[in-house]
Structure formats: C-alpha cells, structure tokens
Chain A
Amino acid sequence: MPDSIFETSELVINMGPQHPSTHGVLRVVLRLDGERVISADVVIGYLHRGIEKLCEQRDWMQIVLITDRMDYIAAASNNLGYCETVEKLMSLEVPKRARYIRTVLAELQRIASHCLWLGTHAMDIGAMTVFLYAFRERELILDLFEEYCGARLTYNAMRIGGLPLDIPPGWDAKVRAFCDILDTKVNEYEELLTHNRIWRERTRDVGIISGQDAIAIGLSGPALRGSGVPRDIRKDEPYAAYADFEFNVPIGWTGDTYDRYLVRLEEFRQSVRIIRQALDGLPEGPIIGKVPRLIKPPAGETYHAIESPKGEIGYFIVSDGKSNTPYRFRVRPPSFCNLQALPRLVKGHLVADVVALIGSIDIVLGEVDR
C-alpha cells in the first residue's frame, strides 16, 4: 500500500538454523509483507564437513563409509552411487546377485527416505499422526537393514565390485512381509491425507513450478517428476538391475506441492513392486566380483549418476592412476540442486507455505552442505 496513510515496512525474519521445520540446519531469510513472502534467501553451510576434500584424502574403499554421511536418510543409495562410479572407472563386472541385492537395498532405502519425508512433511502442515505412522514403517526398514549389515543409519553396505555380505537366511521373507505391510499402510496414508480437504487446500496450487523451469533450475527426482517431466535415471539409464524389472514412473500434472506429494506416494508402490520382482528373480552366485586387493583405478575421469530418493545423485571422480586416493572427488547432490528452487517457489506465498515447500522439495542438509 504505497499511497496509504499507514506506514508499512517489510519484516525480515530468520527462519532457522534452529527452527522446527527447516529439516536440519537450514536458514532461510524471509522478507515478509505481513505474512506474504517477498523474497527468500537460503543460507547453507551449517553442516559443512568438507566431505569432498575428505574423500580426496582417503583410499577408495574408505570413501564408501564417508558417502554414508551425506544423505544419511538414504545412506545405501549414496553407497550405490559411489561404488558404481568406481566400478565404471575400473570397468569392473558386478555379479548379478550383487546387483539384485543392491537394487533391493536401494529401493528399501527409497521407501525409508520417503517415509521420513512423508512424516515430516505432514507434520509441517500440521497432521502429526502421519509422522508417527510413517516412522513406524521406517523403523521396520531400519530393522531389516540392521539384520542385513548391523547398522541402522549409516550402513556402509556396499563394496566396490559387489557387496560385503550376502543376505542372511530368511531375510528375503521378512522383506516380502514388509512389502505386504507397506501396501496397506500406504493406503492408510492416502486415507489420512490425499482426500483430506484441508490437506488439499494446503498443498494444491502451492509452489507451482513448470516442467521447463524445473529443468532450467536443475531439479531432479520426485520434485522434477511432480512437474510432469518423466525423467527417472532408473528408467532412462538403468543401473544396478533396474533394466530387468517392470515399474512405472509416476509424474505430476501441475507441478504443485500436491503433485509432488502424489508422485512420492506412488513411488512407494513402485518401489514395493521392484523389490518383489528382485526377490522373485534373485539369482544364485557370488556377491562380489573379481576385485583387485588394492583398488587403484586407471587414470581417467568419469561421471555416474543414480536415482537417489531425492533425485539425481551423481559422482564425478578423477583418478590419476598413481595414488590410491581420488585426484578429484565431486558430488552432484540432489538436495543442493533442488534447494535452489526454494526462493522461487516461496515467492508470493505465506509463511505457512514456506514450511510446506521446504518439506515438499525433500532436502537433507547433510547432503546440501556435505
């Protein structure tokens, strides 16, 4: 109101780094007019641990363990991305059984990550029960991982060339049982949210981003597919054992928060579908290929990306062929790239939408800051 007799001024508000809904130590500086957001500046770096530099100091095997610490919600996906990159660099052949188990692990991880996303996202919008329901299912996955590799969060579950461990006896039956549980639980989430009037009002037409803009910003993963771009690396450039399985890539229509929500919910079902196929077709055989005792990739560079739960996680690795550490190690983190869309998404929306949108793009600060 420039011509008004009242003097109004903008309110600058610091959301984070200690704020219940910024999912970690994200800081968003909001300039507000009333409750309407004029602009938002994202301030990151509170969780920077110098992981890329650290990886250039460790030998090739130790790096697997460091990649756990990036997206700690989906550690196995990080492991998978890194191991495949090095395998590509060394032209290693991974046994089929290892690739199948890797796929199962990655998909379980996707479900776990989406569970955490769903819970926190719903919590941000005020539906607190979904949070505990989603965590209940995530807990089952953590149990499965614990049984597989002994860890519940940072798994260190893969090795260059294959896997350190075969699946324990009876584990596949437990995974199947979990898939059956999840099938009914996803319907439960849908019952609570999808057709809930308040949920729809809160998420529909909030933070719309068109497919073109999404590509221009560099969005990936469900955030990109929510805008109607059918890009899924599992489908487009199959890795692990994805080429052997049938699954659909759900895409959204308008690119709003509701679409991104629907895409992720459908991914629960598709992941279950992939896991079932992988367990059905699980071949016998070794779990690790012919890997030299000392891993020393030949000189060269490569980029390899996989579809992590949050989007395209890519590793760019340069090896000089002499030392037993990478010469250059660079990660393309989906959270970091997706976060770039936030200022654009929140513009013109209300404070309440800001938290909905932070949840909607599904970031994890460990990966943003590295």
Chain B
Amino acid sequence: MHLHGTALWTLHPALCTLHYPMIETYVIPLLKILVLLNAVLVAVTYMVLLERKVIAWVQVRLGPMRVGPHGVLQPIADAIKLLLKEDITPARADRFVFTLAPIVSMVPALIAFAVIPFDSEITLFGYRIALFVADVNVGLLYIVAATSISVYGIILAGYASNSKFPLLAGLRASAQLISYEIAITMILVSIVATAGTLSMVGIVKAQLEAGVWYAFIQPVAFVTLFIGGLAETNRAPFDLPEAEQELTGGFHTEYSGMRFALFFLAEYANMIVVSAVATTLFLGGWLRPFPNVEALSFLGFVPGWMWFLLKTFVFLYVFIWIRATLPRYRYDQLMRLGWKVLIPLALANLVVTGIVKVLL
C-alpha cells in the first residue's frame, strides 16, 4: 500500500508533463469512440421503440405500454428477451458464414459513424473537443464504402442459411444493391463537385460559406438520395429482402436470438447513418437554419449538435412515416425505378452540376 502510494507520487510529475499530448491523442479519441458507440446503440434500441410508437399512433393504437411508463423500458425488455433466447444454427447451414453475416451487417453501420460530424467543436473541461471521431479527408468515400458492405451481410445470410426463402431474399438484396448504389454514388459525386471536398466537415463548412443548405441548391439530388437511402436501408417501400408477407421474414428467417437482433439493430443503425449523412450533405449538418441570415442568429443559442440531432430525427421520422403509409414495391419495379429513373436522374444531375460549376 505504502509502495503503491509512493509510486503514484513519484509518477505524478511525469503525468503532469504528459498531460496534454497523451490526453489529446489517446484518451479523448477513445472516450469519443466509447461515448459514440454507446450513444448509437442506445439510439438504435430506442429507434425501435420510436418506430413502434409512431406506427402505433398512425394506426390508432397505443403501441408498447406495459414495460415502464408508456413503454419506455421496452427496448431493455426486448434486449433481455433476445439475449436469453436460444441461438439456433440450422443443421445444414454454413456455420461460419451464418455467424459472420450478422456481424458483417452490423459493423459497417457502426464504423460509418466515425466520420459523421455532430458539431464542429465544443469546449468541455478546458479541452476543445471536436464532436466527430475523425475528419477523414475522404470521409464521404469512407461512408459509401462502409455502408455498401453491410448489404453483403444480407446476401451472406441468404446464402448461408441454406434455406429457400432466405436465398430468394439474398438474390433480391443483390439485385437491389446494384439498382440503387450506382444512383446514390453518382448523387454523392455531384455533392462533392458542389462542395469541392470529400470531407464531411468540409462539406458542412462549404454550406456555411455558400450560406445555404445544399437541399436548396441540389433538390433533385436530395430527393434521389432520400429514395436511394430508403432502398439502401431496406426500408419500406423497398423492404423486399425481408418482406414478411412474401418471404416469411426473408434473409433472417433462420436467425434467432442475438444474431437476429444484430440484423435488426443493423437495419436501424443504417437508418441513422443514412439520416445523418443526408443531414450533413443536404441540411447543413450542425448549422442552424439559414446560417447566413443575421436576423435569425438568436437560433444560435441551441448548440450545433442539437440541430444535427433534430434534423436527423426529422429524417428518421419520415422513414417511419413512409413505412406506416406505403405498400411495398415489387422486385422488378424497384429495379425499374433504380435503372430507369434514379440512375438517369442522378447522371443528369451530375452533368448539370458539372456544367454549372464550370460556367460559374
């Protein structure tokens, strides 16, 4: 005990000298990652509750009401239930891939959050902390790369289950992937062309300089990206790979317990990623509405990250709203929409963006 105390005492001056560099290079980023991961996971579980509640309200029901007041503890109950359930691997499944698939689905959704800027910088305990894990100079490319991987989770799950309905779902997912991914990427290229940077922080700053959200400069891109985002996250009306009424649950038919939960969470995490990206690219990220209008500067009392979350929430709400309202597209209709509408539209948008950019 005594020795221990001495050691600390002797180390202390050294700690003091290391104070700034160590904390800034290691502790703060680690803390940020920790906080972000937990925040995302909590947000995801509560997205499930939000969705159930909102859809219930649309359908003149109450939704979860039993666990906690107005069902606020429902996500915890769900998590416990799923953790305690038996985790079944079908006898003839490809065991390795079967286990890998939910992970492949979940991880990219989480790592995509690394480059999403929630706010520029805030001051906390004397440290200036940027509210993003990393400002990668190819941030947007990184997100595109990460989110496309998560579709492989579905395809792998469909293949590994060795069952017919998941297989059909896997086929649908791959058909869906090539239909919308091209359109989305081309839309992103036109945004990059407008902003002149691939960095997520840079894009927000470019919107600050332009004094206007890109949703107003690039309305076509905005709508196209949103539709593409619905398809990307397998949400209604493009939830073909998991169409319960057609494929009895689709790719996760054979999954149970926590592995099923991972797919479930991945879908919601992906929704949040898409909403956050759309917020960053089109709604000015953490910027307050009309950042260039001085008369509205009183809105500055709301911190930037609050604006960011608010805008992301609006997207998420629309996601849920659409799910409650619209019927499902058919597989060939989605392909038609992707190839005949979204891709030409995205291409035209890119060309027009280029021409405008060159002329101005």
Contact = CB atoms under 8 A, between A and B. Distances in A.
Interface stretch (A66-74, A87-95, A195-203, A282-290): A195-203
B248 A127 contact: no
A352 B243 CA distance: 9
B38 interface: no
A199 B246 contact: no
A142 interface: no
Interface string A221-257: 0000000000000000000000000000000000000
A352 to B, nearest CB: 5
A21 B167 CA distance: 19
B245 A20 contact: yes
B24 interface: no
B168 A351 contact: yes
B329 to A, nearest CB: 6
Contacts of B55: 128-129
A353 B243 CA distance: 12
Contacts of B247: 351
A301 B227 CA distance: 63
A20 B165 CA distance: 13
A128 B164 contact: no
Bin the interface of chain A by size. Answer: 20 to 34
A13 B61 CA distance: 36
A296 to B, nearest CB: 49
B168 A125 contact: no
Contact of A132 (B59, B239, B244, B331): B59
Given A35-B171, A198-B328, A352-B331, A124 B59 contact: no
Interface residues of B, number: 32
Given A35-B171, A352-B246, A352-B331, A127 B60 contact: no
B325 A350 contact: no
Contact of A13 (B164, B243, B332): B164
Interface string B322-354: 011111111111000000000000000000000
B191 interface: no
A126 B243 contact: yes
**Best-buried of B172, B244, B327, B333 by chain A (most CB within 10 Å):** B327
B325 A20 contact: no
A126 B331 contact: no
List the 7 closest A-B pairs by CB distance, nearest first.
A126-B328, A127-B327, A132-B59, A126-B327, A21-B245, A125-B327, A352-B330
14 contacts: A20-B245, A122-B327, A124-B245, A125-B245, A126-B236, A126-B243, A127-B328, A128-B323, A132-B59, A132-B60, A136-B60, A196-B326, A198-B327, A202-B330
Interface of A: 11, 13, 19-21, 34-35, 122-129, 132-133, 136, 192-193, 196, 198-199, 201-202, 350-355
